[in-house]
Amino acid sequence: MPINNDLTPSLQTMHQREFDRFSALIYDEAGIKIPPAKKTMLEARLQKRLKALGMSRFEEYAAFVFSPEGQRQEMVHLVDVVTTNKTDFFREPQHFDFLVKQVLPQHHGGGDPGAITVPFKIWSAGCSTGEEPYTMAMVLAEYAQATPGFRFAITASDICTQVLKTAMAAVYPEDRVDTIPLALKKKYLLRSKNKQQGLVRICSELRNLVQFRRINLMDDELDISERQNVIFCRNVIIYFDKPTQARLMHKFHRRLVSGGHLFLGHSETLNGLDVPFQSVGSTVYRKL
């Protein structure tokens, strides 16, 4: 859920007063800080909403956004245009190796076929266009085939409604799936009938394994009813300040089972945060 750095020129100039109001609102709503150096970027992003609403001035848009009607109707669209989402299938593959070799055997009685377990629950928080949760689905489906009795449930969430639509459609350009192992491509991907389109789709078997939802990680209570065995929140908190990171980690802590695992991105760390997690691998943490 990083901020979009597209510097497309804006036709409008935003006054400092509106910039301050918008940047404060985006921080409160999405946890993302927009420094003054990114004012041009914010102008370019919000210009899309002005055009969609038939407005010509940022002052007019601000009056709408901060009205009761705008708070109800526009916040989702505002967040959509100021955030962007970069992800890949099997991104940071060592995490999926750790999941299969270290975490899953602990859950399933060390791999004992006779062990009785509840479904393994995993949450992709900040799932973007779906590559991460569909990678999870491939990995867990393969593990389930080799491990009798193993069951799992995947929840995937993002604050951006546009990327969630893409994720649920599960259609990707062929070059986006280059990082998927060939055997899994053959098993879980469907080619478009029109080969000139260069598109593939995740098969229905995998699509049905993932429940997509819009969840704002800045909400006081995260809308996840059941405790999770694993939470992936990778390359998200790097865009938050330390207090926001700490608050989110405590919310994740409450949503994990005892001994549950949290996976962060390769450039993220909990060092310096007073949170109840123990490092057990490269950007992998265990709930204390």
pLDDT tens digit string along 113-171?
A: 555 568 999 999 999 999 999 999 999 999 999 998 899 999 999 988 889 999 999 99
pLDDT tens digit string along 200-241?
A: 999 999 999 999 999 999 998 888 888 999 999 998 888 888
pLDDT tens digit string along 165-192?
A: 999 999 999 989 999 999 999 999 998 8
pLDDT tens digit string along 239-262?
A: 888 999 999 999 999 999 999 999
* 265 shares a domain with 171: yes
Name the 3-class secondary structure at 191: strand
Between CA 286 and CA 283, with CA 164 as vertex, the angle to 5 degrees is 20
* Backbone angles phi and psi of 51, in degrees to 5: -65, -45
* 164 shares a domain with 63: no
* 98 shares a domain with 54: no
Beta bridge partners of 264: 233
Domain range holding 67?
16-82
* 118 shares a domain with 54: no
**Confidence label for 81 from pLDDT (cuts 50, 70 and 90):** confident
Q: What is the pLDDT of residue 41?
A: 87
Domain boundary among 82, 114, 139: 82
Closest C-alpha among 248, 247, 214 to residue 231:
248
In a domain, 177, yes or no: yes
In a domain, 151, yes or no: yes
Per the listing, tokens 């994990």 go with: 256
Of the candidates 17, 20, 21, 45, the residue annotated as catalytic is: 45
Q: What is the pLDDT of residue 109?
A: 58
Tokens of 16: 């400092």
* 275 shares a domain with 208: yes
Q: Is 97 a catalytic residue?
A: no
Reported residue count of the chain is 288
* Contact call for residues 265 and 235 (beta carbons, < 8 A): yes
**Confidence label for 283 from pLDDT (cuts 50, 70 and 90):** very high
* 111 shares a domain with 29: no
* Contact call for residues 247 and 59 (beta carbons, < 8 A): no
Residue 60: CATH number of its domain: 1.10.155.10
* Contact call for residues 263 and 234 (beta carbons, < 8 A): yes
Q: What is the pLDDT of residue 8?
A: 40
Tokens of 106: 């602990």
Structural domain count, the chain: 2
Q: Is 72 a catalytic residue?
A: no
* 277 shares a domain with 166: yes
* 235 shares a domain with 114: yes
Name the pairing type of β-strands 256-264 and 277-281: unpaired
Count how many Cα atoms sit within 13 Å of the Cα of residue 28 in the half-sphere of its side chain. Answer: 8
* Contact call for residues 128 and 265 (beta carbons, < 8 A): no
Domain boundary among 24, 58, 82: 82
* 77 shares a domain with 98: no
* 127 shares a domain with 242: yes
* 107 shares a domain with 149: yes
pLDDT tens digit string along 13-53?
A: 888 999 999 999 989 888 888 889 888 889 988 988 899 89
Q: What is the pLDDT of residue 108?
A: 65
Name the pairing type of β-strands 152-158 and 120-125: parallel
Of the candidates 20, 49, 151, 158, the residue annotated as catalytic is: 158
Residue 132: CATH number of its domain: 3.40.50.150
Between CA 251 and CA 256, with CA 255 as vertex, the angle to 5 degrees is 120
In a domain, 173, yes or no: yes
Q: What is the pLDDT of residue 7?
A: 38
**Confidence label for 12 from pLDDT (cuts 50, 70 and 90):** low
